[in-house]
Amino acid sequence: MNITRIVQNITCSGCEHTIRKKLASIPEVSEVSVVITTNAVTFQYGTHNALEGVKLALQSLGYPLANTENGLGYQAK
């Protein structure tokens, strides 16, 4: 399944690279693309567990979903 999520804190191509690299390492996640200007992350996923894995990975990197509280602990460095 293909899905797009809007995330917080994407500011540069380094952010884009970090997100693409991390999400590509998650089993059942592929075709990751990031659009810096819209903070959109699009990817293919196979199961609900993969989708949850993406959400947790993004949050741990400092790129929480747009509808998530963005406290200091979650902000990208």
Structural domain spans, the chain: 2-74
pLDDT of residue 72: 53
pLDDT of residue 24: 96
Checking if the pLDDT of 71 tops 90, the result is: no
| Residue 20: both structure tokens together | 């693409």
- Run of H or E including 21: helix 13-24
Name the DSSP letter for residue 27. T
pLDDT of residue 68: 82
Mean pLDDT over each residue of the chain, to the nearest integer: 92
Angle at CA 33, nearest 5°, toward 32 and 34? 130
Tell me the per-residue pLDDT of 1-14, one tens digit each, with 9 for 90 and over. Answer: 999 999 999 999 99
Share of the chain above pLDDT 90, in %: 86
Q: Which CATH architecture has domain 2-74?
A: 2-Layer Sandwich (3.30)
